[in-house]
Amino acid sequence: MSLVVVGSMAFDAIETPFGKSDRIIGGAGTYIAWCASNFTPVKQISVVGGDFPQSELDELANRKVSLEGVQIKKDEKTFFWSGRYHMDMNTRDTLDTQLNVLENFQPVVPDSYQDCEFLMLGNLVPAVQRSVIEQLKTRPKLIVMDTMNFWMEIAMDELKKTISMVDVLMVNDSEARQLSGDFSLVRAAATIMKMGPKYLIIKKGEHGALLFYEDKVFFAPALPLEDVFDPTGAGDTFAGGFIGHIARTKDISFENMKTAIIVGSAMASFCVEKFGTARLREINKADISARLDEFVQLVNFDINLV
């Protein structure tokens, strides 16, 4: 039984108030794989061009990320995204998007991935996400989907079709408002859960994340940091920590999802400390454990005093 991850592997060029990166490794699938592989082996589905470095693929393979589902199109170019963040780091401008290999990406699920127990659909074309669900002969125990406003604008019907097939949906606060048509996040959550997902996670960046389930809600804070150096990939890393913890513990209860959100938040807090995936490449189990302790301290209060 295994965790299957679908998502882009890409080149990014990033500008923040703290500096500017060259063309560096990025993509939702990349961040998810680097993060989730701290907790469990990963079976990756993605596509790259001939320009994608073999060394990056080797490093992922060394972390028990299976690459059998990653197509390498030798004569094409890898997906490229360039963006600029402003001081508040909550908004960004896209400077350039070159779809390249993503334009006609048709994912193929290898036979060896058919034991998929947990499926993480990283942000990608909704029809591509759905194609992976449909290729799996046995429905996974838990399907988690990340998406973004871009698909709401150009492919809302396709998006809703995919959303109707998943167990957990992740969006940010403005996307929850856009998808539901309601400003109140509590009412937005109720509306979105009627579209199919039993669980909804609303990411609020530096303001933490909310998990909705039936009439219950759980809140995980973001760690207050001196500087958010580069927010790129924080949402993907959050997703990787969430599904990584779930896949490691094989427990899909609401109680365990709360812990998984804390793990996702802790992993995202590393991600933003350096450009791109740099920080995720450095951390080890001891770092993760210490950061999780910080989260416990951050929210833990003595309920007996109330």
Contact residues: a second copy, CB under 8 A? 87, 183-187, 204, 207-208, 210, 216-221, 224-227, 249, 251, 255-256, 258-259, 261-263, 292, 296-303, 305-306
Q: How far is the CB of 238 from a second copy (least distance, A)?
A: 15
**Cα separations in angstroms, 61 against 67, 121, 210:** 7, 20, 33
Compute the distance between CA of residue 284 and CA of residue 287 in angstroms, rounded to an integer: 5
Give me the amino acid identity at 169: L
Q: How far is the CB of 41 from a second copy (least distance, A)?
A: 20
Is the CB of 139 or the CB of 216 nearer to a second copy?
216
Within 10 angstroms of residue 203's Cβ, the number of other Cβ atoms is 25
Q: How far is the CB of 146 from a second copy (least distance, A)?
A: 21
Q: How far is the CB of 268 from a second copy (least distance, A)?
A: 15
**Cα separations in angstroms, 274 against 20, 229, 283, 288:** 11, 6, 12, 16
Is the CB of 10 or the CB of 288 nearer to a second copy?
288
Q: State the distance between the two ends of the chain, measured CA to CA, in whole angstroms.
A: 44
Is the CB of 150 or the CB of 219 nearer to a second copy?
219
Compute the distance between CA of residue 182 and CA of residue 179 in angstroms, rounded to an integer: 8
Is the CB of 90 or the CB of 135 nearer to a second copy?
90
Q: How far is the CB of 40 from a second copy (least distance, A)?
A: 15
Is the CB of 36 or the CB of 133 nearer to a second copy?
36
Helix 173-180 vs helix 185-193: crossing angle, to nearest 10: 60
